[in-house]
């Protein structure tokens, strides 16, 4: 099993460009199943989760052509539906969370979908009820094989309807939208997710001939069409990488230029880091994080302790809570980090406590951080990455620690960050991959 060996305490410098967005890539790749025509996608990140989904589509019968390092074309002309019952299909789906978004397109076009319990991060319960409830309202029916942990979905005819989602699930909304674009009649989805990546999916579907109104809001109106055609789509930069690089610059006291970040799609991410005292300078579509030896956490106007919490868009993405928590350990002041949406994402703080951070884990959702300021340096440690986002947070912590740290289970980091060791080494980081 590979690991990262990191010699921390060195400043970084230079510029870096974020990869294509992982979460958008998984959605738009599944959307390729909705048409028999060719779909070309640019800015695909070369990360494990995306590559595994591309391999899965290839096994399903999609003609996959690699145009360049980050550009592919897909032609889902002849899907091999028998493969859905193959042991290889079962195995691939159980190791990939994004496989859940195959249900909507397969139901819409082939009236049948088989889904083993999807894999991905072990960050608490991530139930699929929103997906299934929405698809059932469109006319699908589900059976569950408890022994095989397998969902079997069928739909002779999907029909549009009004639905109010029980939660603004991003992947749930994506699944329902992809099914609704080929349903008969009009579908209205209230409490829909409206993240930029879902907006991108909707724009891509519209370019394919779908009729979707209300893009960017939590009320989507979809008029079904008979068929979709091919298109060309470019994926947004990954906002989680942008936030990770901001945190990295702050923790190492480095000046880093983050290029082509798509500022309008970052939402309150820059503002959230500024609350921790980090300077962020916007230059066109780039972000400059100047070198800072110290930064101070803001308090509320009445002097009370700041709380940073995740929320559905346009709130703060939960994927950056881990990074913000790490950065807070080096700031001066106190902050409460509230991870509302997942119950197991804060357990990695035990590793930070071992490194000398002043953190009280209040419960599975809340951690209180006492930032010790510029006089505090984390100690090096040997640790293991429990999930993608905790992994990058531990990597940031290791880069700021004085000494050599080792991070095991870096397959989790590779799932979400493309060649992260090489890209950080180009900035001056002392990091190497060891077996």
Q: Which one-letter DSSP state was computed for residue 84?
A: G
Judging by DSSP bridges, how do beta strands 306-309 and 231-234 pair with one another?
A: unpaired
Cβ partners under 8 Å of residue 82, min gap 6: none
Distance CA 399, CA 412 (A): 18
DSSP for 254-298, please give it. Answer: -EEEEP---GGGSTTHHHHHHTTT---EEETTEEEE---S--B--
The vertex-48 CA angle with 44 and 51, nearest 5°, equals 50
Question: Sign of dihedral through CA atoms 167, 169, 175, 181?
Answer: positive
DSSP-derived secondary structure for 6-73:
EE-S---EEEE-PPBPHHHHHHHHHHGGG-SSEEEEES----HHHHHHHHHHHHTT-EEEEEETTEEE
Q: Give me the DSSP letters along 365-389.
A: TEEEEEEEGGG--PPP-EEE--SHH
Choose the catalytic residue: 37, 58, 82, 121.
121
User: How distant, in Å, are the alpha carbons of 131, 173, 195 from that of 160?
Assistant: 15, 14, 23
Regarding beta strands 286-289 and 219-223, do their DSSP bridges make them parallel or antiparallel, or are they unpaired? unpaired
Q: Is residue 121 annotated as part of the catalytic site, yes or no?
A: yes
Kind of pairing, strands 366-372 and 359-363? antiparallel
**Within a 10 A sphere around the Cβ of 250, how many other Cβ atoms?**
28
**Catalytic residue set:** 121
């Amino acid at each position: 099993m590979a690991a990262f060996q990191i010699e921390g305490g060195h400043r970084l410098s230079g510029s870096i460009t974020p990869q294509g967005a992982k979460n958008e890539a998984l959605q738009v790749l599944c959307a390729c199943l909705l048409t028999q025509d060719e779909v070309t996608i640019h800015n695909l990140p070369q990360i494990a989760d995306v590559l595994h989904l591309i391999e899965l589509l290839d096994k399903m019968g999609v003609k996959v052509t690699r145009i360049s390092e980050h550009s592919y074309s897909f032609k889902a002309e002849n899907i091999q539906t028998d493969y859905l019952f193959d042991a290889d299909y079962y195995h691939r789906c159980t190791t990939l969370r994004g496989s859940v978004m195959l249900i909507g397109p397969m139901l819409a076009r082939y009236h049948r979908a088989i889904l083993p319990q999807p894999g991905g991060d072990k960050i608490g319960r991530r139930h699929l009820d929103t997906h299934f409830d929405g698809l059932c309202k469109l006319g699908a029916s589900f059976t569950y094989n408890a022994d095989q942990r397998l969902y079997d979905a069928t739909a002779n005819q999907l029909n549009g309807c009004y639905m109010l989602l029980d939660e603004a699930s991003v992947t749930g909304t994506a699944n329902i939208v992809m099914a609704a674009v080929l349903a008969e009649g009009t579908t209205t989805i209230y409490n829909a997710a409206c993240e930029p990546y879902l907006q991108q999916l909707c724009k891509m579907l519209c370019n394919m001939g779908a009729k979707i109104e209300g893009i960017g809001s939590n009320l989507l109106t979809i008029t079904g069409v008979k068929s979709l055609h091919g298109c060309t789509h470019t994926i947004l930069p990954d906002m989680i990488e942008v936030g990770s690089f901001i945190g990295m610059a702050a923790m190492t006291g480095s000046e880093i230029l983050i290029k082509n970040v798509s500022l309008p799609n970052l939402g309150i991410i820059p503002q959230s880091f500024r609350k921790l005292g980090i300077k962020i300078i916007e230059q066109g579509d780039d972000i400059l994080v100047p070198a800072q030896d110290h930064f101070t956490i803001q308090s509320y106007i009445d002097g009370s302790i700041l709380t940073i919490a995740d929320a559905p868009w346009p709130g703060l993405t939960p994927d950056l809570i881990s990074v913000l928590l790490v950065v807070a350990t080096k700031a001066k002041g106190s902050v409460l980090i509230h991870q509302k949406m997942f119950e197991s994402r804060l357990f990695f703080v035990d590793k930070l406590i071992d490194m000398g951070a002043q953190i009280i884990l209040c419960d599975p959702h809340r951690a209180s951080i006492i930032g010790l300021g510029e006089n505090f340096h984390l100690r090096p440690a040997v640790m293991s990455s429990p999930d993608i986002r905790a992994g990058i947070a531990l990597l940031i912590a290791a880069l700021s620690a004085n000494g050599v740290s080792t991070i095991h289970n870096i397959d989790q980091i590779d799932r979400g960050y493309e060649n992260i060791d090489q890209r950080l080494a180009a900035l001056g980081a002392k990091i190497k991959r060891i077996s």
